[in-house]
Amino acid sequence: MLARVRVHAGGAMTVGVSRRRLLAFGICVGGGLSMASVWPGTARASRGGPAQPDDSHAAPAERVSEKDSLAVALGYVADASRVDRKANPTYQAGASCSSCSWYQGKPGEGGGGPCTFFPGKLVDAHGWCRMWNKKL
Ligand code: SF4
C-alpha cells in the first residue's frame, strides 16, 4: 500500500502509512542499529568518533614471555646477549630476531614484531630462539 497525504482546510496535513510499511521501516532501522553495534570499526563511530577500518586491530599485541611453554621449548630470550651458549651451541654471535627470516617486524617498530612461531604475540627485535634462520 502507498502512503496517503491529506491536506486539510487550514493547511494541516496528515500522512497515512500502512502498518506493513511502518513494520518494514522499523525492521530496517533496528537491523541497521544492531549491525552498527557489532560491525568492526563502527564502535568508535557509535562513541562519536570517526570510524576507522582497522579499529579492531588497534590494541597492541602482547609480548612473548620467556616463561611461555613454547618460548621455553624454543629457548627464546628477549635479549640475545643472554643466550646460554652451552645449551644453544647453534647460536651465532650477532644473531637476533631482527635478522631472522621468521621475523615479520619492520625496522624501528618499537623493538618488537610478529614471528611465525608465536602467532598473535610480538617477539623482541633483540631476542633469539633456536629456530633462528638467517634472513637473506
Ligand atoms: S624464530 Fe626467529 S624471529 Fe622468531 S623468536 Fe626465533 S629467532 Fe626470533
Q: Is the CB of 125 under 6 A from ligand 1?
A: no
Which residue among 132, 133, 134, 135 is best mutated to probe the pocket of ligand 1, counting the most ligand atoms within 8 A of its Cβ? 132
Q: Whose CA is nearest to atom 4 of ligand 1?
A: 115
Nearest-atom index, ligand 1, CA of 115:
4
**Angle at 96 (CA atoms; ends 126, 125), nearest 5 degrees:** 35
| Between 75 and 18, the higher pLDDT residue | 75
Number of Cβ within a 10 Å radius of residue 61: 14
Query: How far is the CA of 58 from the CAs of 41, 44, 48, 103, in angstroms?
Result: 10, 11, 17, 21
What domains are there in the chain, each with its CATH number? 4-56 (no CATH), 61-136 (4.10.490.10)
Q: How many helices (H) and strands (E) does the chain have?
A: 3, 5
Please write the tens of the pLDDT for every residue from 66-113.
Answer: 999 999 999 999 999 999 999 999 999 999 999 999 999 987 677 799
